[in-house]
């Protein structure tokens, strides 16, 4: 006797759901349509039928079904979520953000939906462009229209500007309201007294051939190496007249030759003015590319900078123009220089072999010794690699076996004490020199490390896919101790391509950190209380407190297989390390000045304007 099957909407819905789980799209479609024939308002059936259509590649039909399900039952939540995903795939970002918002309201136990909503909002505002890929000219114009703070400020008397001399390039034009903005700024920031300033410089951008604003340059505070490599006074600077008179300096007339302006600026800087940045775009450059006669491209200007550095006590520095509008600066390292390289490893002989071989190939005439710390390796291939390197002709290669719980600070300290080099290079085993690499990168780092003013020297590290992993380190960035420009292309133009030039930072990563041995000894090495994260930051900040500057050397552009040897996900040490740094260095962990532009957001690494920070827009 045949059994009567229930002919209810819920029965056919369950049949359709089971068929979909088995990926039987034909059976699922038939069952779900039968469900809807009995109950046309069955929101869950509409939702599942939308998923069927999506698997069949019918995005528009899938979207119509998800929107219908959402209208029938907004409390379901997953129908709105599915609609949001489809709207995003179709580039309808504003509608996608609204759908994500509705899904979040219906699904309060799923807070991760917030990030998708914020991402969709940002993509809607910026026409589908992802800000994390770098701040493009189109994104900049959107910011100018909707987010840039107006230059209009509460009325301040313009006579406050009488005490200031403007030094401006011939093709630079002040924005309407710039003078009023500066007068108000001066009223808020008295420039006399100990906290005053003798030199002010604004942010800037360029006007394209169509008259549209593009290529913003948000400038950092006064970081000497950053200024020398990418001089930012050429467009516009404001000098306090009283200070100029005290120094016996006669201002150059408007329209002066760019080379003469550069000579005058360098002479004025040698008098030690107090300097402050102005965190607003106050002028445009009319030129779309740096003119060949300006300081940013002229060999004659490079020669003037070399003379300036010699007068500052930097010795003989080779300076040459470097596209797209700055200088490459090369210090000389002595011919006789011993460098000790400390590498920690636990197996991963594949990584270690590339690290050893590619660095050794670039040592040039440096006297290189290796101190490898074996932190509990077990593989025969690792032992064979050690034996091979010990037998290499002329090789200075030692292995220190320390089979104990991993403590980056403690292991590096133990190893460094057994080396003899005047320079120490702490290097991760997952770092390698690319092929081809600048053959002089190791000597360039050594030359920087031997400068009396310099503490730590870092490398520009790239992910294997070619994007930036490290070009500097800022303790207050992101969740803490983030890398500016992380994830951007190696040739990113953000902040006038700063990531590709010699630049100063408050800290550099310990993945590739060079320092003079006496400085390492002076501050007691790395702190073992910080076993994994934060030890490099703490070390750099201790040297910074002693008056030393830290730089990233662009010639040293290396590959970093970050976390290939030690995964960092769900690190149990990250939170305690951040808490310790906050207690020990409250000022450094709260302020990115002078290394990061005040006009740029601190919660993102891509250099976007601060008005776009805190929104979750990727």
Closest residue by Cα to residue 429 from 345, 373, 358: 345
Dihedral, CA of residue 119, residue 125, residue 126 and residue 131, to nearest 10: -40
Residues pairing with 77 in the sheet: none
Looking at the chain, which residues constitute the CATH 1.25.40.10 domain(s)?
9-128
Q: Where are the beta strands (DSSP E) in 293-446?
A: 317-322, 326-331, 338-345, 367-374, 397-401, 423-428, 431-432
Supply the pLDDT for residue 287. 67
Supply the pLDDT for residue 292. 41
Q: Under 8 Å CB-to-CB from 448, ≥6 apart: which residues?
A: 331, 454, 457, 514, 551, 553
Supply the pLDDT for residue 324. 85
Looking at the chain, which residues constitute the CATH 3.90.550.10 domain(s)?
158-291, 338-472+507-584
Supply the pLDDT for residue 56. 94
Contact 468, 489 (CB under 8 A): yes
| CATH number for domain 9-128, candidates 3.50.50.60, 1.10.540.10, 1.20.1260.10, 1.25.40.10 | 1.25.40.10
For residue 246, what are its two tokens?
A: 């005290």
Separation between Cα atoms, residue 371 and residue 90, nearest integer Å: 55
If you ran DSSP here, which 8-state letter would residue 278 be given?
E
- Cis peptide before 436, with omega less than 30 degrees from 0? yes
Please tell me whether the overall predicted TM-score, pTM, comes out greater than 0.95 for this model. Answer: no
Considering the chain, what is the average pLDDT of its residues? 92
Supply the pLDDT for residue 293. 42
Residues pairing with 339 in the sheet: 368, 423
Backbone angles phi, psi at 329, to 5 degrees: -115, 130
For residue 478, what are its two tokens?
A: 């992101």
* Predicted confidence (pLDDT) per residue in 518-570, tens digit: 999 999 999 999 999 999 999 999 999 999 999 999 999 999 997 655 445 55
Separation between Cα atoms, residue 125 and residue 236, nearest integer Å: 32
Supply the pLDDT for residue 554. 96
Residues pairing with 240 in the sheet: 164
For residue 21, what are its two tokens?
A: 């789980």
Residues pairing with 461 in the sheet: 470, 558
Alpha helices in 392-490 (DSSP H): 408-416, 441-449
For residue 300, what are its two tokens?
A: 């004659």
* Predicted confidence (pLDDT) per residue in 247-302, tens digit: 999 998 887 899 999 999 999 999 999 999 999 999 999 865 554 445 567 899 99
CATH superfamily of 338-472+507-584: Spore Coat Polysaccharide Biosynthesis Protein SpsA; Chain A (3.90.550.10)
Separation between Cα atoms, residue 186 and residue 202, nearest integer Å: 13
Closest residue by Cα to residue 196 from 185, 206, 207: 185
Class in CATH terms, 158-291: alpha beta
**Residue 443 burial by Cβ neighbours in a 10 Å radius (0-12, 13-18, 19+):** buried
DSSP string, 43-105: HHHHHHHHHHHHHTT-HHHHHHHHHHHHHH-GGG-HHHHHHHHHHHHTT-HHHHHHHHHHHHH
Supply the pLDDT for residue 618. 81
Supply the pLDDT for residue 593. 96
For residue 289, what are its two tokens?
A: 């590319």
Low-confidence residues of the chain: pLDDT under 50:
1-4, 291-293, 566-567
């Amino acid at each position: 006797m045949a059994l009567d099957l229930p002919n209810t909407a819920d029965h056919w819905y369950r049949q359709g759901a089971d068929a979909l789980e088995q990926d039987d799209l034909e059976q699922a479609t038939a069952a779900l349509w039968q469900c809807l024939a009995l109950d046309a308002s069955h929101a869950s059936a509409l939702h599942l039928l939308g998923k069927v259509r999506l698997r069949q590649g019918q995005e528009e039909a899938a979207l119509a079904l998800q929107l219908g399900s959402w209208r029938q039952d907004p409390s379901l939540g997953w129908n709105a979520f599915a609609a949001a995903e489809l709207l995003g795939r179709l580039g309808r970002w504003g509608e996608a953000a609204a759908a994500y918002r509705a899904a979040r309201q219906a699904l309060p136990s799923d807070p991760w939906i917030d990030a998708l909503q914020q991402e969709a909002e940002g993509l809607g505002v910026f026409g589908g462009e992802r800000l994390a890929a770098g701040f493009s000219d189109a994104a900049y114009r959107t910011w100018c229209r909707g987010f840039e703070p107006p230059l209009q400020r509460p009325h301040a008397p313009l006579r406050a500007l009488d005490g200031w001399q403007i030094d401006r390039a011939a093709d630079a034009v002040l924005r309407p309201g710039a003078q009023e903005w500066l007068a108000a700024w001066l009223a808020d920031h008295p420039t006399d007294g100990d906290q005053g300033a003798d030199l002010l410089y604004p942010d800037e951008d360029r006007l394209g051939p169509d008259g549209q604003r593009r290529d913003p340059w948000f400038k950092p505070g006064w970081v000497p190496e950053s200024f020398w490599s990418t001089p930012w006074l050429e467009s516009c600077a404001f000098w306090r007249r009283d200070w100029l008179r005290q120094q016996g300096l006669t201002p150059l007339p408007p329209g002066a030759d760019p080379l003469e302006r550069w000579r005058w600026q360098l002479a004025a800087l040698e008098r030690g003015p107090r300097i402050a940045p102005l965190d607003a775009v106050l002028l445009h450059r009319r030129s779309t590319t740096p003119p060949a006669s300006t300081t940013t491209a002229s060999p004659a200007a490079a020669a003037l900078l070399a003379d300036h550095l010699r007068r500052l006590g930097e010795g003989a520095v080779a300076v040459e123009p470097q596209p797209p509008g700055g200088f490459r600066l090369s210090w000389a390292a002595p011919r006789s220089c011993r460098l000790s390289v400390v590498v920690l490893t636990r197996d991963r002989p594949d990584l270690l072999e590339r690290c050893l071989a590619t660095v050794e190939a670039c040592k040039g005439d440096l006297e290189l010794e290796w101190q490898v710390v074996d932190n509990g390796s077990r593989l025969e291939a690792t032992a064979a690699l050690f034996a091979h390197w010990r037998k290499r002709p002329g090789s200075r290669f030692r292995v220190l076996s320390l089979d104990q719980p991993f403590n980056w600070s403690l292991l590096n300290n133990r190893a460094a004490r057994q080396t003899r080099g005047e320079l120490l290079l702490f290097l991760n085993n997952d770092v390698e020199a690319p092929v081809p690499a600048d053959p002089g990168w190791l000597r360039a780092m050594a030359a920087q490390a031997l400068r009396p003013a310099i503490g730590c020297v870092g490398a520009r590290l790239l992910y294997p896919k070619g994007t930036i992993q490290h070009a500097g380190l800022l303790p207050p960035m992101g969740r803490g101790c983030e890398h500016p420009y992380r994830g951007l292309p190696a040739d990113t133009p953000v902040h006038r391509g700063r990531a590709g030039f010699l630049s100063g930072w408050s800290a550099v990563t310990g993945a590739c950190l060079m320092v003079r041995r006496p400085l390492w000894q002076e501050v007691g090495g790395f702190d073992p209380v910080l076993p994994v994260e934060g030890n490099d930051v703490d070390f750099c900040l201790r040297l910074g407190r002693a008056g030393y500057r830290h730089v990233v050397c662009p010639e040293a552009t290396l590959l970093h297989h970050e976390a290939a040897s030690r995964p960092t996900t769900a690190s149990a040490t990250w939170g305690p390390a951040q808490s310790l740094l906050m207690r020990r260095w409250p000022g450094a962990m709260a302020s990115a000045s002078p290394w990061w532009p005040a006009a740029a957001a601190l919660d993102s690494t891509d250099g976007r304007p601060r008005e776009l920070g805190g929104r979750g827009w990727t």
